[in-house]
Amino acid sequence: MAKPISMEVWNPSGKYRVVSTKSMPGARWIRLLTDNDCRLEICTDPKTILSVDDILALIGDRCDGIIGQLTEDWGEVLFSALKRAGGTAFSNMAVGYNNVDVEAANRNGIAVGNTPGVLTETTAELAASLTLSAARRIVEADQFMRAGLYEGWLPYLFVGNLLKGQTVGVIGAGRIGSAYARMMIEGFKMNLIYYDLYQATRLEKFVTAYGQFLKANGEQPVTWKRAATMEDVLREADVISLHPVLDKTTYHLINPERLAIMKKEAVLVNASRGPVIDELALVEHLKANPMFRVGLDVFEDEPYMKPGLADMKNAVVVPHIASASKWTREGMATLAALNVLACHLQSFRGQQLI
């Protein structure tokens, strides 16, 4: 077992021991836990990604609930250790469970929470930023300026793609995909084509109503289409943004065959999960198609990029920051604390939180 790692302790005499594997922004989540009779222990070790052994050491002999991060591998080993330590509650500080073996949690009687909703707009805004940065070559142009290469305006200098009137394709039109679609439709008057397992009725109604508004004001109306297949989106869209959950149906959803049917000058954005794209295939595609551009917030083997990606001028890459606004991160921390409290700790039952 790993050696004990550094901890910050709040409310040392609290009845329930709750552990957070990372410091998180804001004070509200801390107050929620300490006001509800929890002794909160926050891991302050500088190591960015904790191993299973590190987390076993954090759980120790007694732990009622724990807040973990999307970089951690929550499976049988950790859930059985949490059960042995008397724990009943785990919350991921993230949307979804792709780093969590929910069946293992169930087997060990541990309830699992996550933190959706509060990061919907923030994540969609980053996807929109990546779209603009890739379409208008912002990072390349910035680097060019800083390198002292600008000698004056030229007709061909950093020519990119106009979004207005083009088609935005969304794969996974859930909370974030729909919010992103609305931003691109309202902001840039793009037409929508989307693919999801379920119909995005509210999104469709919004586009219809916005199209009618534009028409009534003498402008070209925007349109929507629900695609029968993902391939239809890839063939038709000028910009494609990926927002599905990561599971076995979406692993390497973007593969060499699907890259090959996309427009040569398309923009592809991923702010969902890295393994949704076959990243090695993407690098080859970027090399062969210099006018094809990507904006990536997530990577197949985080924190690493596949060989060659960092050299590609037609890729904009940022380190998984899509939900990184202060308000959102504080909200995620608050939701994670509420998950641990509300579902599982006796102390919370019948009490009011604020």
Ligand X SMILES: NC(=O)C1=CN([C@@H]2O[C@H](COP(=O)(O)OP(=O)(O)OC[C@H]3O[C@@H](n4cnc5c(N)ncnc54)[C@H](O)[C@@H]3O)[C@@H](O)[C@H]2O)C=CC1
Residues that bind ligand X (CB under 6 A): 95-96, 116, 119-120, 123, 171-177, 195-198, 243-246, 249-250, 271-273, 297-298, 320, 322-323
Q: Please check whether residue 352 is in contact with residue 131, taking contact to mean a CB–CB distance below 8 angstroms.
A: no
Q: Who contacts 65 (Cβ-Cβ below 8 Å, separation ≥6)?
A: 16, 18, 19, 38, 87, 88, 89, 90, 91, 340, 341, 344, 345
Residue nearest ligand X, CB atom distance: 174
18, 33, 119, 200: residue in contact with ligand 3PY (rule CB under 6 A): 119
Among 243, 258, 273, 293, which one carries the catalytic annotation?
273
Q: 127 or 282, CB closer to ligand 3PY?
A: 127
Count of Cβ atoms closer than 10 Å to residue 108 Cβ = 18
**Shortest CB 169 distance to ligand 3PY, Å:** 21
Please tell me whether residue 339 binds ligand 3PY under the rule CB under 6 A: no
The strand ranges marked E within 114-159 are: none
Q: Please check whether residue 168 is in contact with residue 191, taking contact to mean a CB–CB distance below 8 angstroms.
A: yes
Q: 150 or 327, CB closer to ligand 3PY?
A: 327
Q: 58 or 203, CB closer to ligand X?
A: 203
**Hey, which residues does 193 pair with through a beta bridge?**
169, 225
**Shortest CB 157 distance to ligand 3PY, Å:** 35
Please tell me whether residue 337 binds ligand 3PY under the rule CB under 6 A: no
Q: Who contacts 195 (Cβ-Cβ below 8 Å, separation ≥6)?
A: 169, 170, 171, 172, 173, 226, 227, 229, 230, 232, 233
Binding mask 80-99 for ligand 3PY (x = CB under 6 A): --------------xxx---
Active-site residue flag, 302 = yes
Considering only CA atoms, which of 2, 64, 74, 1 is closest in space to residue 37? 64
Binding positions for ligand 3PY, rule: CB under 6 A:
70, 94-96, 119, 322-323
